[in-house]
Chain A
Amino acid sequence: MEDHGVPALRRLLATLPDAVASTHARLGDATAVVAAARLVDAMRFLRDDKALAFDMLSDVCAVDYLPRKPRFEVVYHLYSVAKNHRLRVKVLVNEDAPSVPSVVSLWPSANWMEREVWDLYGIRFDGHPDLRRILLYDEFEGHPLRKDYPKERRQPLVGPRN
């Protein structure tokens, strides 16, 4: 696999070659697609490695590529405050019972962002301490950012609960 001249990809490939499924650096964004089973190992390495030091998890989101298989991608954007560089890590997720290991134990910022992905895409995060809906309410049915969720669909209005 190629490292595209990016130090972060080179170190990741040298240390955990079996965890990385593919890489690219199109438009200058270094990207590694990581196997879901090895996600936490890879992320821990990226965070703790002295030369990479990805101390900030900037963003977690998902993309629905319906009708492609595997259907979903969960996308992590890492940033290193100390070294001022970025890396994108992606995990492919299947449609049936979609789930990904949680990285809340590595970065607490993942807590709310993983809840948002669960809320809007219905992808579960194994090991998340508090996987509740965050932007929508509990009575909401379905996950609206999935491509097969119709934009015009109405949902019941629910009054305040205490």
Chain B
Amino acid sequence: MAQPHFPTAPHPAEDDFERDLHTEHQLLNMGPSHPATHGTVKFLVELDGENIVNIDVQVGYLHRGFEKECEAGTWYQAIPYTDRLNYNSAVLANLGFCMAVEKLLGIETPERCQWLRVLAGEISRLGDHLTRCGAACLELQAMTPFLYGIEARELTWDHLEMLCGARVTSNYIRIGGVKHGMPPDFPTSCRAFIAKTRELLRDFDDVVTSNRIFVDRLQGTGVIDRATCIKYGVTGPILRSTGEPLDLRKQEPYLVYDQIDFDVPVGTVGDNYDRYLVCVEEMHQTLRIVEQCLAKLEELGPGPVNVSDPRVRWPAKGRVFNHMEELIQQFKAVTEGPRVPAGEGYTAIESANGELGFYLVSDGSAVPVKVRCRPPSFINLAPMSEMLKGAMLADLIPTFDFINMIGGECDR
């Protein structure tokens, strides 16, 4: 009798298990307003599982036409716009712009003014680094160090207010000088602030620097090497974290940086942890610079903080009210603004993020032809995709934090 024939399910062949299933890359939109990033920027992330294949970084959400606005007003009217570039360290942007205009005018500022500029600029830089490190901790779920950082940043802003009259958008540096000198109680208050900031930095250090979770999130992530940094034009703490001691305060000393004793910290690996360490050490160096500025300014005593150049500074009020020539001069200075000799010039300073350059073109009139800002945030952000190829999606957060892209400066 013939056995009934039951069709059997085909036995799966060995290689069937090893056959590739059809998978494809996933596109993930992060931003432009994402809770784990600060700054308005969109990442279109191409993911293979949880690994990053490519990132299309889309900037421009904060584009306000900085250059176009500058070309519509006088040279003086551009200074408040520079406040709004990197709003974490507004004084440094003021400084870069004013130094570039002074280069076209051929003005040398008085010594007291230069020390004041360094003082205000360094307090501003301190605030920028505190924000970067504090916000990075917050975005890695650590609330306490963020509060230490923000407490110290409040102190920097209080002292900027004492010095400049405003906390954030300080508008302190003027063409040919500064708005005014130090108030008499500033040095005492500032020394107390330096001591308190050192204490807060120590607390910050205790909580974070050797914290296992923090170290694991940062070490070996967002790695970039020196050669890649240089070909992408990356400067500032990111370049220094790769071991290249490029700091324009040392390389092309401007103002009085050649008379100040400070060190340039560098990293070795070029990962996020090195960037963090470089930033923290830079804050300690900045405090040293501020102390030296205070000592020097006390030694110099009261005196002029502006050039006495009638092209850019107003005459003394007593003379304006009593003399016809000075009255006319002030009238013209207010209604027309200073005329800047025709020419072009590029001036670069070391901002908190790297080389902040201003390329200015004048045709000899009171209105600029071109105000180009070389924004370190924009240029440092460009290799982000390169830094994160093959990394986990979670590594994007600390890497973006330590690139410290500031929307106002990146998008202008």
Which positions in A face B, CB cutoff 8 Å? 26-27, 29, 31, 55-59, 61, 63-65, 75, 77, 79, 81, 84, 86, 88, 107-109, 111-113, 116, 120, 133-137, 144-145, 147, 149, 151, 162
Q: List 6 A-B contacts (CB under 8 A).
A: A29-B345, A59-B372, A107-B231, A112-B382, A135-B63, A135-B411
Given the contacts A27-B104, A58-B357, A77-B359, A108 and B383 also touching, CB distance less than 8 Å: yes
Question: Which of A58, A64, A120, A136 has most B Cβ within 10 Å?
Answer: A58
> Does A75 lie within 8 Å of B231, measured CB to CB?
no
- CB-defined contacts of B65 to chain A, threshold 8 Å: 144, 151
Q: How far is the CA of A42 from the CA of B63 in the complex (A)?
A: 33
> Does A58 lie within 8 Å of B383, measured CB to CB?
no
Minimum distance in angstroms from B372 CB to a CB of chain A: 4
Q: How far is the CA of A120 from the CA of B134 in the complex (A)?
A: 35
- CB-defined contacts of B372 to chain A, threshold 8 Å: 59, 61, 63, 75
Minimum distance in angstroms from B233 CB to a CB of chain A: 4
- CB-defined contacts of A120 to chain B, threshold 8 Å: 67
Q: How far is the CA of A65 from the CA of B342 in the complex (A)?
A: 13
Question: Looking at chain B, what size class is its interface with the partner chain?
Answer: 35 or more
Tell me if B123 is interfacial: C-beta within 8 Å of chain A: no
Q: How far is the CA of A75 from the CA of B244 in the complex (A)?
A: 27
Minimum distance in angstroms from B343 CB to a CB of chain A: 6
Question: Which of B29, B104, B346, B383 has most A Cβ within 10 Å?
Answer: B346
Q: Identify A136's interface contact among B63, B246, B344, CB under 8 A.
A: B63
Closest 5 CB pairs of A and B: A109-B233, A135-B60, A59-B374, A61-B372, A135-B63
> Does A109 lie within 8 Å of B382, measured CB to CB?
yes
11 additional contacts, CB 8 Å, given A29-B344, A77-B374, A111-B382? A55-B230, A57-B233, A58-B357, A77-B357, A107-B231, A109-B232, A112-B378, A120-B67, A145-B68, A151-B69, A162-B29
Q: How far is the CA of A47 from the CA of B361 in the complex (A)?
A: 26
> Does A134 lie within 8 Å of B60, measured CB to CB?
yes
Minimum distance in angstroms from B104 CB to a CB of chain A: 7
Q: Considering only CB atoms, which chain A residue lies closest to B246 in the complex? A: A81
Q: How far is the CA of A19 from the CA of B327 in the complex (A)?
A: 53
- CB-defined contacts of B274 to chain A, threshold 8 Å: none
- CB-defined contacts of A56 to chain B, threshold 8 Å: 230-231, 233
Q: How far is the CA of A143 from the CA of B240 in the complex (A)?
A: 36
Q: Identify B361's interface contact among A63, A79, A86, A145, CB under 8 A.
A: A63
Q: How far is the CA of A89 from the CA of B60 in the complex (A)?
A: 27
Tell me if B103 is interfacial: C-beta within 8 Å of chain A: yes
Which positions in B face A, CB cutoff 8 Å? 29, 59-60, 63, 65, 67-69, 71-72, 103-104, 230-234, 244, 246, 251-252, 343-346, 348, 355, 357, 359, 361, 369-370, 372, 374, 378-379, 382-383, 411-412
Q: How far is the CA of A149 from the CA of B361 in the complex (A)?
A: 19
- CB-defined contacts of A134 to chain B, threshold 8 Å: 59-60
Minimum distance in angstroms from A122 CB to a CB of chain B: 14
> Does A81 lie within 8 Å of B244, measured CB to CB?
yes
Q: How far is the CA of A61 from the CA of B370 in the complex (A)?
A: 10
- CB-defined contacts of B411 to chain A, threshold 8 Å: 135
> Does B382 lie within 8 Å of A63, measured CB to CB?
no
- CB-defined contacts of B233 to chain A, threshold 8 Å: 56-59, 107, 109
- CB-defined contacts of A151 to chain B, threshold 8 Å: 65, 68-69, 72
> Does B379 lie within 8 Å of A109, measured CB to CB?
yes
> Does A88 lie within 8 Å of B68, measured CB to CB?
no
Q: How far is the CA of A75 from the CA of B358 in the complex (A)?
A: 13
> Does B251 lie within 8 Å of A84, measured CB to CB?
yes
- CB-defined contacts of A144 to chain B, threshold 8 Å: 65, 68
Question: Which of B103, B355, B370, B378 has most A Cβ within 10 Å?
Answer: B370
Minimum distance in angstroms from B119 CB to a CB of chain A: 26
> Does A63 lie within 8 Å of B370, measured CB to CB?
yes
Minimum distance in angstroms from A110 CB to a CB of chain B: 9
Q: How far is the CA of A4 from the CA of B378 in the complex (A)?
A: 33
Q: How far is the CA of A65 from the CA of B368 in the complex (A)?
A: 12
Minimum distance in angstroms from B77 CB to a CB of chain A: 13
Q: Considering only CB atoms, which chain A residue lies closest to B60 in the complex? A: A135
Q: Considering only CB atoms, which chain B residue lies closest to A55 in the complex? A: B230
Q: How far is the CA of A61 from the CA of B251 in the complex (A)?
A: 24
